[in-house]
Structure 1
């Protein structure tokens, strides 16, 4: 990581919510996606990113809202870079917490953000309060109160939409390929195998997949593995074990992709999110070695 860039990451033990505060100058991270809902506030500078086939610029006070699967990148178009704070909300946690408000969810649907960027001042304030309470490990009642305030404001920006799987706008080839990738993510599969599963040649497959999901099948497969790697590392599993389980060539291979997508190494991510005491972490490392 360049010397002027930094990341401060933590995870709340009760909710599993990750809190991240970071500063980047120049290129921040390559196109990637998360399996969480992202709610963040830009503190300083201009945060530029591509998402949903549009380029966005978030400036101080703006809130950016990303859904699971939203492909996005990040860069600083100005010399002073940008600083932001962000919450990663687990989809099951969010749906459960909002059940009192959204109690009649239609079949095969998921919560969706109406806009990627908003200038909702109250939402920005609620996001910052929730971030501060969780990131600093405040009393449980303080954390819960801050999260309730965030959820109350967040409902103004959420609605139900049809799930990705049955979206009629996506070609069947792309949907079949995506299902195949999810079912075989841990294997060393090739384009020929994916193409055979969808009934088209490799070139038609790649064109259809990129048109539907914004990235080529190989890039999607890597992101799928990285999303799983995050969950495994957060549980305290060793980077080498994770790399082997998910089909990466070795720990270094996982590390290169992980840094490009998230800006920090798998080992550092594990340390910040596993919630293991240092002594317990060392014991687990000794057992693995």
Structure 2
């Protein structure tokens, strides 16, 4: 974090929704993904990012929408940087809350955003209102009303789609490798071990995996560990214990990757989410 960059993050205790307002100049963060649905609004400047194999530029008033697992980065292409506010919505919470607005979900499906960037003033206003009510700790009824308004505006940008594991565009070997990483992500996995588990040589595996998920296996494993670290830290788990449990060499090793992906240290993230001092 430089003198010109800043992050203000909090977590709503009732819903688990994280609210983040931040400003970046130049390079903001490396390619990474989240377990949450991201709904954000650019306040100032140009927010440039790559997602869904395309480059996007979000300018003031535009809403950016990212699904869990979608790889994205961030940078400021112009002087003055960019400022944005964002909500991290838990997938289970979002699906449950939208149950009253959508018909029953088709089998083996999940909610998906129709586009990554939207010019929708009503959605932008609803996002800002929800952010303010949660971030500033408004009365419970005010927070709930603001979230209901956000959900109502989001319905026009959401649809049901088949889950990734049933997507015929992704080779079976890439799915097997991803499942293996999710099941053994805390271990010191070698590329040879992963390729043997998938029944192909490591060169074919790496090509297939990157084509399917946008990252080579080793980088995906790091992102998987970081996503799990966020969940554990948000629950108040000590930073050093989280690093060891997830297979990082030590706390500073996890910290370096965490800052590159999210722009703040694990200890600061834990403190903002739990109000607990680092342990």
Q: Which residue of 2 aligns with 1:191?
A: 191
Aligned-pair CA distance for 1:231: 0.5
**Segments of 4+ moved more than 2 angstroms:** none
Q: Which residue of 1 aligns with 2:65?
A: 65
With normalisation by structure 1, the TM-score equals 0.95
Aligned-pair CA distance for 1:101: 1.4
Q: Which residue of 1 aligns with 2:87?
A: 87
Aligned-partner Cα distance in 2 for 1:134–1:176: 39
Aligned-pair CA distance for 1:104: 1.4
Q: Deviations over 1:41-66 (max 9, x none)?
A: 00000000000000000000000000
Is 1:260 the counterpart of 2:270? The answer is no
Aligned-partner Cα distance in 1 for 2:240–2:155: 40
Q: Deviations over 1:176-201 (max 9, x none)?
A: 00000000001000100110111111
Give runs of aligned pairs for residues 60-139 of structure 1, distance below 5 A.
Answer: 60-139=60-139
Aligned-partner Cα distance in 2 for 1:238–1:79: 38
Aligned-partner Cα distance in 1 for 2:197–2:60: 47
Q: Which residue of 1 aligns with 2:212?
A: 212
Q: Which residue of 2 aligns with 1:166?
A: 166
Q: Which residue of 1 aligns with 2:155?
A: 155
SS for the counterpart of 2:241 is helix
Aligned-partner Cα distance in 1 for 2:100–2:255: 41
SS for the counterpart of 1:223 is helix
Aligned-pair CA distance for 1:102: 1.8
Aligned-partner Cα distance in 1 for 2:127–2:245: 35
Q: Is the 8 A contact 1:226 1:258 kept in 2?
A: yes
Q: Which residue of 1 aligns with 2:222?
A: 222
Aligned-partner Cα distance in 2 for 1:22–1:147: 21
Give runs of aligned pairs for residues 17-32 of structure 1, distance below 5 A.
Answer: 17-32=17-32
Aligned-pair CA distance for 1:275: 4.4
